[in-house]
A = this chain, B = another copy of it.
Amino acid sequence: MVYIQLNERQEKIIDIVKTSQPITGEAIAKRLKLTRSTLRPDLSILTMSGILDARPKVGYFYTGKTALNFISERIEKIKVSKVKSVPVVVDENTSVYDAIVTLMVEDVGTLFVTSDGFLSGIISRKDFLKNAIGGIDLNRIPVGMIMTRMPNIIVTFSNDSILEAASNIIEHEIDCLPVVEEVRTEKGEKKFKVVGRISKTTITRIFVELGKDI
């Protein structure tokens, strides 16, 4: 991938095509009082970059794709499935104390909570801390009693773009999203199976990798 600063002539060509499309290469050359072959490199840069579209025997069109956002195109292509981490999951009957130990041992910021193997809740360091200083009996209270419960959970799917996932993290002010697969139970209920984890750490890691072109 290379990037090129458009020159004045190329900007002029874009203006001509914008106002007179479809227009042939010859007609553009005439307007600029140049030969067709002088313009060839300019036209090919403009078509290769996707700003102009060339249709045989018709001419050049303006695609509307001026300010190409390369970063966005690159980020859009990164799928959640490619970058997700292993989820850390506990059953909702686990005691708060045991859940905190799991959080510590696995060194994650968020636990996903399941009931019968399906996502039922989510709980973070912040929630645990609030409860730990709140004086509840951590050994007797199950994590299911203090977690954030479905359907108030923002989820992401393997096929989502990481930009969408990151966007949800910022918009909803959360640390972590469960990556889920939708399944139907025998009773026909829609449930989520947890298959991964996308956190701010995931995003920060991708940011560094993109920046260093790893």
Partner-B contacts on A (CB < 8 A): 1-7, 37, 40-41, 43-46, 48-51, 67-72, 74-76, 97, 100, 103-104, 109, 125-126, 128-130, 132-133, 138, 163, 166-167, 169-170, 199-201, 203-208, 210-213
Contacts and interface: CB of A to CB of B under 8 A. Distances in A.
A34 B130 CA distance: 72
Contact of A67 (B41, B72, B213): B213
As for how many copies of this chain the complex holds, the number is 2
Given A37-B37, A125-B125, A200-B203, A167 B4 contact: no
B166 A207 contact: yes
A205 B173 CA distance: 10
Contacts of A44: 41, 44-45
A129 B2 CA distance: 49
B76 A211 contact: yes
Nearest to A49: B2
Given A45-B45, A132-B132, A203-B200, A71 B210 contact: yes
Contacts of A100: 129, 133
B211 A1 contact: no
27 contacts: A2-B4, A2-B50, A3-B4, A3-B70, A67-B213, A72-B211, A72-B213, A76-B211, A103-B129, A104-B130, A109-B125, A125-B126, A129-B132, A133-B138, A163-B207, A163-B211, A166-B207, A166-B208, A166-B211, A167-B211, A169-B204, A170-B201, A170-B205, A200-B201, A203-B207, A204-B204, A206-B207
Contacts of A169: 204
A214 to B, nearest CB: 10
Given A206-B207, A210-B75, A1 B133 contact: no
Nearest to A130: B104
A211 B41 contact: no
A171 to B, nearest CB: 9
Given A71-B71, A125-B126, A166-B204, 13 more contacts: A2-B45, A2-B46, A3-B3, A4-B4, A5-B48, A40-B40, A76-B211, A100-B133, A125-B125, A125-B129, A129-B132, A166-B208, A204-B204
